[in-house]
Structure 1
Amino acid sequence: MIGNPDLKTLLGLIPLLAFFGPTIDDRSDNSKSLSLLSRKSWEKEYDYIIVGGGTAGSVLARRLSDIPENRVLVIEAGGMENIMHEIPLAWSTLKKSEYDWNYKTESQEVACFGYEDKRITWTSGKVLGGTSSMSNMIYVRGNAFDFDGWLKEGALGWSWDEVYPYFLKSEDNLDTEIAFNGYHRQGGLMGISKSPFTSELGKTWLQAGLSLGYRSTDCNSQKQSGFTIPQGFIRKGGRSSAYKTFLEPVKDRNNLHIMLHSRVTRILFGDNKRAVGVQFDRDSLSFVVYAKSEIILTAGTISTPHLLMVSGVGPADHLESLKIPIVADLPVGENLHDHPYTGGITFSVSGVKTLKIDEIFSPQNFLRYLVSGSGPLTSFGGIEGVAFMTSKYTNSSGDWPDIELILVNGDLQDNSKLMTVKMKELYNSTRSLNTFTILPVILRPKSRGWLRLKTANPVDYPLIDPLYLTHPDDIMVMVEAIKSALAIGTSKPYKDLEASLVPLMIPSCDHYDWLSDQYLACWARVMTGTVGDVVGTCKMGPPWDRSSVVDPELRLLGGITGLRVADASIMPRIISGNINAAVIMIAEKAADMILGRKLEAFSGPIPTDYSSLKELNRN
């Protein structure tokens, strides 16, 4: 993936950013938002307390505060976005910064052998806007079979026909060749379009797919399978984060209070297991605030279960071992999974120029971005192509791909700091080359991990073990995904650009024949990575399912009232694609549940006589 540019270069460009930033169309003046940081007082009680001002929290805060009578408090552990959050290509510069929770997995049993202690870091946004403010921005809804599968497992109200309108509700599709195909809409809050920048590598992506028999597609329409130039969360060249889209325009509402740099440490329960308030730390002091109606947890797949467990909601034996009083015995922290990929499938190319880190963050490119919202800095983290395909291990009769390929324009220095010495040397050997990478991703992994408390202290990070590639089916699908990536990178359209595979001879795999199935399986276990789509730790399901944490209305089970979860942790199974769009959908649907509203279900092209059109257009 795109690595970190030289820090001195970025610091030297700050005056330029400060000068131009507020003058650009649709760029907010963050100085006006600094009033959020100076809030010194708050009410003792609100109707709704939203814990976490990330992707889902921003949506819910907007929708609930649309009703003037509702008093809404958002409590966010991080601070405000800065100009670097707005630049699509610059998102990796924010990794391991104050804006990143910077979680780290436990040592993996059968994966991540190329990393020190077999551990990798997980980026998660610690900022108003959450991970939507520092991700690769790709817009994918998933597949209808994903959500129909949720329904079959007991998540009533979450079929594709029922969630589809909530994807549309927030969408403002700005690509005219896609916006009017019947599966998109304009007029929502969230800007969606392709990047203004497409290199020769990106343009060749569709040709490469066609050369191997794959069609070009809009993966968010009738058919997901195929090759596409991806759309992303972007407007006029700048990131369209959840904060900027949903919260920034209404941040000064009288009935909406936003507390930054404030970390919730416990949920408070009253009589009959009712959630009545939260305790939070700010400026080294501890405070309590109460909720009249509900507390809604939108802190994400790691922080939400962490907070529940330190508050006494989780597996009884685990909580007892830490002497935490038990409120409810629920399988919080189980069912952890995400989208793993295999790194290092890199191709050198001499026929075109690629995005090299030491060249791309130049004053000229910054100026082009700030003045016209164009140029390479508008690239979605270097991602210029996406493909969805079906392996031989899944039923091909329906359109339900189990593999995703991601074309990344640029070098691969981003994760090398975490690698073993031998793997660092291997990766550093590619520094002088013009390269691109194809990341093979398995979309429906069967491996399931867990999250546990390390201590009862709410400030201590939890233990995270994704158990990557522990299910035998996952490595079989990954090998097929790697083969597909190799086939695309060596296809005639890329060979015409003088592309060739960089032969990374991985030391621990050299006893296998080069590029045999055994070698590819070894490669996958050495170079295991994550797209960052972590889900499942507060699983949604019917009350009779003992693996459920929340019901289909997102209310906590175990006799608890006044408490909901509305983030990626509720997904019973991960969707077939990047999850940010689905998290926004979950929050939109949760808001309607809380407010007693519901969009009419439908599938296919948007009906001209759709009865909920007026409600769909409500912003």
Structure 2
Amino acid sequence: MFFTIEAPIAKFLVGTVQCVLLAVTSLVMSSGLYSIAWPANTIVEANRLTEDGHVRVLLIEAGMAPSIESTLAGTFSVLQNSYQDWNYKSEPELATQSQSDNVFKIAVGKNLGGSSQINHFISLRGDPKDFDTWADITNDSSWNYDNVLPYFLKSETMDDNEIMNSEYAQFHNTSGPVIIRRELHSVSEKYIDSFVEVGQERRPDLNGKKTTGYTQPTIINGKGVRQSTAQAYLKPIKSRANLNVMYQALVTKINFDDNNNAISVDVLVDGKAITVKACKEIIVACGVFNTPKLLMLSGIGPRAHLESLNIHVVQDLPVGQNLQDHVAVQIVHKMEASLEISELPTVTTITFPVIIGNPTVDKNCAYPQYQTTNLLITHDTPYLLLVCLQIFGYTSEICEELQNSCVGRNTLYSLIAVIHPRSRGSVALNSINPHDPPIIKPGFYSNSKDLDDMVEFIANFLEVNKSPYFKEVNSEPVNLSFDDCEGNFTSKDYIRCYAKHMSTTLYHQTSTCPMGTVVDSELKVLGVNRLRVVDASVMPNIPRANPLAATIMIAEKASDMIKAVRECEECLC
């Protein structure tokens, strides 16, 4: 079915420009034909590329338009494991042993806007060192921090007077599509004070050149609405006559001619197979799992793997071989005893106060060594169970033990994450059936140094128990009863055992089609022509932050790269 773009739907369209086909699990086409394939990035591309009125764009989207609940901060917990999620699952491994069904349930957005429509709202960019490293890996200075900063600025409107009247204003903009703001809570300040008292820093904004410290974070929630790429980039251009969308249509294969030119894509829609031709370029933005899946189904990937499935090899590349993620460990602190009746949260705000920490163990380190996500949960509310069970997937036995241990007490729910992991996972095909989910192996702790680091990070985090406030309320972390874990959090042997049991994903997956080995620094797939990838899979290394902001930056930068070569010979489609 074909639809003219209307309302928020338009935001998620994959854009096409001058004879380029943009393809994803969502796909965009045009008379000038671009195809884009990742739900969040395709929308950014659609917006920027259709600024040229001579380009007509059709977005082909595997999912549906965003639901009302996906636009509201207070209902984000119902989005995972729903029809708006691809509902992928990992393979079992060491780190999944306390997860329900012994697998990670990996949330991936299946709607216009993709994972920006179901994520957890945090908007952080990463450390300047991350992008300088990308520039080194690609041997392309255009990816260093100073050169990507303008694209971060271009994408946002900072709606925070304190930040915009401070030294941090130079790192922000007030005229971009994505509204960024903070939800400030006075109760959070005594917790941040406590981390400062044990040697960490306080910082109002972690998006500048200095990214260490604790803060109430910036989030993509503006004017009471989630600032997904659909809301921020598509809704404002819904009246563009050159933008159209197709829903519930799955891109299954990219086709090549004898000269390895990407020339068309196959699409399943309403049970029928159609082929859409592109006369200039195809841009894939299906995301960290679906982009490698589509490339491999199209013959681009590891030769041995493709040949085992009788897929004709177009190009032998290490697609899917560099999966990275932030492994995290859950720790729950019992805080002050309380009988206070909590106020019901509104549906337009996040359900509980959130504190993000980018701490250092080595005080001489200029960049964060780990990250902590801290939720302040009121006593005897269902939110502890909700976060433990629904969001991070632990077993009901573990979550109920935590809930029962905290009766009558407020809780600090924390996730301590390794943000510069050495471990690598992988994404592979289950079969040649495009409806089958990929095989996902997170590979957490496949490099044992990550587990060593996690032990040190947890021990460092627990220093907060020495602060005056934590002592005053008799704070203590909940020790869970694992048969093979002896002692408590004062022992690093216990912490190591606990970490093996209590690891989870933060859903920050990146890097399955990285610059340097799968695409070049202009995001063109190596060894073939007229094919680019524009999503989080192209990151050479995962940033030291939630990757949404960096992903949008990539799309903004890619739009300029595409526009720069758009002044080409006339295309005859």
TM-score by length of 2: 0.87
1:189 CA displacement:
1.2
Find the counterpart in structure 2 of residue 423 from structure 1: 398
1:519 CA displacement:
0.8
Question: Which residue identity does 1:279 align to in structure 2?
Answer: D
1:407 CA displacement:
1.1
| Matches of 2:74 and 2:461, distance apart in 1 | 23
Alignment of 1:388 with 2:373, yes or no, is: no
Distance 1:540 1:71, change over 3 A: same
| Matches of 2:502 and 2:341, distance apart in 1 | 23
Alignment of 1:85 with 2:70, yes or no, is: yes
Determine if contact 2:419/2:543 at 8 Å carries over to the other structure. Answer: yes
Distance 1:36 1:347, change over 3 A: closer
Q: Secondary structure at the match of 1:429?
A: helix
| Matches of 1:432 and 1:440, distance apart in 2 | 23
Question: Which residue identity does 1:382 align to in structure 2?
Answer: F
Alignment of 1:99 with 2:84, yes or no, is: yes
Distance 1:509 1:422, change over 3 A: farther
Question: Which residue identity does 1:450 align to in structure 2?
Answer: S
Determine if contact 2:95/2:504 at 8 Å carries over to the other structure. Answer: no
Distance 1:499 1:536, change over 3 A: farther
| Matches of 2:340 and 2:522, distance apart in 1 | 51
1:36 CA displacement:
10
Find the counterpart in structure 2 of residue 59 from structure 1: 44
Find the counterpart in structure 2 of residue 214 from structure 1: 200
Find the partner of 2:479 among 484, 504, 508.
504
The C-alpha deviation readout for 1:182-230, integer Å capped at 9, x for no partner, is: 22121111101102x5251x22232122212322212112311111110
Distance 1:500 1:448, change over 3 A: same
Alignment of 1:240 with 2:227, yes or no, is: yes
1:256 CA displacement:
1.6
**Residues 58-67 or 174-183, more deviating:** 174-183
The C-alpha deviation readout for 1:231-262, integer Å capped at 9, x for no partner, is: 11121232111100001111332212222211
| Matches of 1:193 and 1:105, distance apart in 2 | 33
Alignment of 1:407 with 2:374, yes or no, is: yes
Q: Secondary structure at the match of 2:415?
A: strand
The C-alpha deviation readout for 1:34-80, integer Å capped at 9, x for no partner, is: 7999xxxx998632333435221111110000111122222221111
**Residues 215-224 or 562-571, more deviating:** 215-224
| Matches of 2:206 and 2:55, distance apart in 1 | 38
Determine if contact 1:338/1:445 at 8 Å carries over to the other structure. Answer: yes
Distance 1:430 1:251, change over 3 A: farther
Question: Which residue identity does 1:178 align to in structure 2?
Answer: I
Determine if contact 1:52/1:77 at 8 Å carries over to the other structure. Answer: no
1:31 CA displacement:
8.3
Report how many residues are paired.
534
Determine if contact 1:209/1:227 at 8 Å carries over to the other structure. Answer: yes
| Matches of 2:543 and 2:9, distance apart in 1 | 36
Alignment of 1:553 with 2:522, yes or no, is: yes
Find the counterpart in structure 2 of residue 456 from structure 1: 432
Find the partner of 1:577 among 545, 557, 570.
545
1:540 CA displacement:
0.4
Find the counterpart in structure 2 of residue 521 from structure 1: 496
Q: Secondary structure at the match of 2:31?
A: strand
Structure 2: gaps of 5 or more residues: 13-26, 378-382, 567-573
Q: Secondary structure at the match of 1:345?
A: strand
Question: Which residue identity does 2:294 align to in structure 1?
Answer: L
| Matches of 1:579 and 1:175, distance apart in 2 | 21
| Matches of 2:231 and 2:482, distance apart in 1 | 46
Find the partner of 1:437 among 410, 413, 436.
413
1:293 CA displacement:
2.0
Distance 1:35 1:533, change over 3 A: closer
Matched residues, percent identical?
Answer: 34
Alignment of 1:183 with 2:174, yes or no, is: no
Find the partner of 1:123 among 103, 107, 116.
107
Alignment of 1:329 with 2:316, yes or no, is: yes
Determine if contact 1:155/1:551 at 8 Å carries over to the other structure. Answer: no
1:292 CA displacement:
2.0
Alignment of 1:470 with 2:452, yes or no, is: no
Determine if contact 2:200/2:360 at 8 Å carries over to the other structure. Answer: no
**Residues 486-495 or 138-147, more deviating:** 486-495
The C-alpha deviation readout for 1:443-498, integer Å capped at 9, x for no partner, is: 101000111111111110010001111212111211122123323356323444x3
Find the counterpart in structure 1 of residue 137 from structure 2: 153
Find the counterpart in structure 2 of residue 22 from structure 1: none
Find the counterpart in structure 2 of residue 112 from structure 1: 96
The C-alpha deviation readout for 1:267-311, integer Å capped at 9, x for no partner, is: 111231111111111222222111122211111000000000011
| Matches of 2:561 and 2:499, distance apart in 1 | 42
| Matches of 2:29 and 2:212, distance apart in 1 | 51
Alignment of 1:531 with 2:510, yes or no, is: no
Determine if contact 1:50/1:61 at 8 Å carries over to the other structure. Answer: no
Q: Secondary structure at the match of 2:421?
A: coil
Q: Secondary structure at the match of 1:476?
A: helix
| Matches of 1:511 and 1:205, distance apart in 2 | 29
Q: Secondary structure at the match of 2:180?
A: strand
| Matches of 1:431 and 1:540, distance apart in 2 | 46
Determine if contact 1:49/1:75 at 8 Å carries over to the other structure. Answer: no
Distance 1:464 1:31, change over 3 A: same
Determine if contact 1:490/1:499 at 8 Å carries over to the other structure. Answer: no
Determine if contact 2:479/2:488 at 8 Å carries over to the other structure. Answer: no
Determine if contact 1:269/1:276 at 8 Å carries over to the other structure. Answer: yes
Determine if contact 1:51/1:76 at 8 Å carries over to the other structure. Answer: no
Q: Secondary structure at the match of 1:48?
A: coil
Distance 1:346 1:220, change over 3 A: same
The C-alpha deviation readout for 1:127-180, integer Å capped at 9, x for no partner, is: 111111111111111111111111122241211111111101111111111124
Structure 1: gaps of 5 or more residues: 1-29, 370-377, 542-547, 599-619
| Matches of 1:32 and 1:115, distance apart in 2 | 39
Q: Secondary structure at the match of 1:286?
A: strand
Question: Which residue identity does 1:465 align to in structure 2?
Answer: K
Aligned residues: CA RMSD: 2.6
Distance 1:105 1:199, change over 3 A: farther
Distance 1:99 1:145, change over 3 A: same
1:402 CA displacement:
1.7
| Matches of 1:89 and 1:432, distance apart in 2 | 24
Distance 1:235 1:517, change over 3 A: same
**Residues 229-238 or 111-120, more deviating:** 111-120
1:118 CA displacement:
3.0
**Residues 417-426 or 147-156, more deviating:** 417-426
Question: Which residue identity does 2:496 align to in structure 1?
Answer: A
Question: Which residue identity does 1:187 align to in structure 2?
Answer: S
1:348 CA displacement:
3.9
TM-score by length of 1: 0.81
Determine if contact 2:28/2:36 at 8 Å carries over to the other structure. Answer: no
